[in-house]
Amino acid sequence: MEKILKARENRQNNLKKMMNNDSVYVVLKANIPGEDKRTNVARFLVNLFRKRLNETFFVKNSRFFSDFDGFYDIYEINCEDITSVKMMCINLEDNAPLGRYVDIDVYKNSIKSISRSELNIAPRKCFLCDEDAHICSRSQKHSYLELENKIIDDVVDYIHSETTRFIKESIELECELSPKFGLVTMKNNGSHNDMNYELMMKSKNVVAPYIAMMTISGFSNSDEKIFDDIREIGQLCEKRMFQATNGINTHKGLVFGMGFAAAALGMLLKENDFSFHKLQDTIKYLGRNLEEDFLSSHDTFGYLAYKKYGFLGARGEVMKGLPNAFIAVDVLDEYPDFTKEALTMALISIVRGLEDTVLLKRSGSLEKYNYFKNLVGTINVYDEAQIEAVTEECVKNNISFGGAADVLAIAIFIKKMKEGFISYE
């Protein structure tokens, strides 16, 4: 208790040091019970609401602190009306997902925060029983373990729900793009006589929650347990996918590649240490033993492609940290939104660099593979007439860039996860 009181005194002193004018100041911290307040969940909550505060206010200055009483941020807000700032912060606490698990205190010219009672607003309610939180706290009505488990469960549910949404949106954006070099689109089946848009959407709804579970694995497990866990989840996901599609392989490659990206993103959400370089390194770390696993699968086309041409396919892409997905993210970042042009040019950038075993299998020869890879890869500007003509030639020759389509969906997913979860620097 002595350490906590000292930490709170330090927080007040840090606030005093930042107060140098008539600005409004906001202090954000996770509302975590128990002695250990610097948990992964607490870090995630502060990171998430750091993003929300930056989206809500014009922040002139901010600093992050870590002390025995937990992680916290202090913000200088470009606003002199303390009441309006407090009302917006109360709205975040009461209405934003997970808002009940953070405290957002507001100050101006004093280290005493403005209270809810001063604004005739009801006090905050307990996490568990919906009664006055202060009364429950003082009476110790609920154990620390009960409160902690409730917070963890709600944070995990939120991450899973949001990640599932981003995965579905990513698959939809990839599949809706047309024309698209023989791939299934909303308009037609491309070069695929066994798939259509409706089947792809049915498959999407099956695989998305499982891939999101891999994000939870990265967030919740120790590093050494993640690979085995996501492989088990992936195998179950494939089984459910084939059941839903009557044996048609709609998203097996995507489950594999996006699963590693999802698990790596979960690890970074836990650490709050996000950069594309860090994400690539984490994907490489998770896929470090894949070559050994790959070489034991002698009966697959991927293994034959490796023996004959040295192609490592989807496994090799993960082992290298999904480099073509990050090239595509760079292309997408050049556009204000996921426009048709942005998605097409991102897909073309992937085709240029990817060892696509789906294309190799459909080509039947390395010469034909290189011809179609170059045909698409040499498109340097968005010209829909040219793209339509190339697509027609692909369909005529039963060509499809299935591996590139998976990587495009992964690139969209990475971009959406960063925009949805990762805080402002």
All domains of the chain, ordered by start, with CATH?
Answer: 2-142 (3.30.70), 156-421 (1.10.4200)
Q: What is the pLDDT of residues 85-95, one digit of tens each?
A: 999 999 999 99
The residue assigned the tokens 């120790």 is 222
Cβ contacts of 7 within 8 Å, gap of 6 or more:
67, 68, 69, 70
CA distance 16 to 423: 25
The residue assigned the tokens 């347990």 is 225
Q: Is the pLDDT of residue 112 over 80?
A: yes
Q: What is the pLDDT of residue 299?
A: 63
Q: Is the pLDDT of residue 309 over 90?
A: no
Q: What is the pLDDT of residue 297?
A: 65
With beta carbons less than 8 A apart as the criterion, state whether 246 and 394 touch: no
Q: Is the pLDDT of residue 140 over 50?
A: yes
Q: In what order do the strands lie in the sheet with 102-107?
A: 59-67, 70-77, 24-30, 102-107
Backbone φ and ψ for 344, nearest 5 degrees, come out as: -65, -45
Beta strands in 97-155 (DSSP E): 102-107
Q: Is the pLDDT of residue 318 over 90?
A: yes
Mean pLDDT of the 172-177 span: 98
Looking at residue 130, its amino acid is: D
243 to 2, 184, 246, 249: CA distances (angstroms):
58, 20, 5, 10
Q: Is the pLDDT of residue 252 over 90?
A: yes
Q: Is the pLDDT of residue 69 over 50?
A: yes
Mean pLDDT of the 286-306 span: 76
User: pLDDT-based confidence at 406, cuts 50/70/90?
Assistant: very high
What is this structure's pTM?
0.93
Q: What is the pLDDT of residues 333-345, one digit of tens each?
A: 999 999 999 999 9
Q: Is the pLDDT of residue 424 over 70?
A: no
SS3 75: strand
| Tokens describing residue 375 | 């045909």
